[in-house]
Amino acid sequence: MFYRSPDLVVTAEHFVILRPAHVQYRIDFLEGVYVLEHPRAGRRPAAQEIRAQYGLHDVRLFHSCDRRVFGQVRRALIRALERRHATSG
């Protein structure tokens, strides 16, 4: 287990969104993972999101305006992806 919150779980095998709707992505099938940063809107902080190709679909895995939480999720996904590459080689 790399990350766990009431909204999200990241393991070596899955990236699981628990809320608002339960969606599960296999780490093995995530490709082209990238981060987008949206500019600040007025007084609100900049939003960041993690996106990836999952099969034929471009999916948003996670988004947040909280830099600390975003960094934790990003690092957890990086560790999961590194584990995938280490075990497949």
- The CATH number covering residue 47 comes to 2.30.29
The number of CA neighbours under 13 Å toward the Cβ of 51 is 11
Q: Which domain holds residue 53?
A: 3-88
CA angle 26, 82, 27 (to 5 degrees): 5
pLDDT of residue 43: 85
- pLDDT tens-digit profile, the chain (89 residues): 999 999 999 999 999 999 999 999 999 999 999 999 998 888 888 999 999 999 999 999 999 999 999 999 999 999 999 998 787 65
Tally of structural domains, the chain = 1
> CA-to-CA distance for 17 and 22, rounded, in angstroms?
5
Q: What is the value of pTM for the model shown?
A: 0.91
pLDDT of residue 88: 66
The residue written with tokens 């296999």 in the block is 26
> CA-to-CA distance for 46 and 81, rounded, in angstroms?
26
pLDDT of residue 89: 59
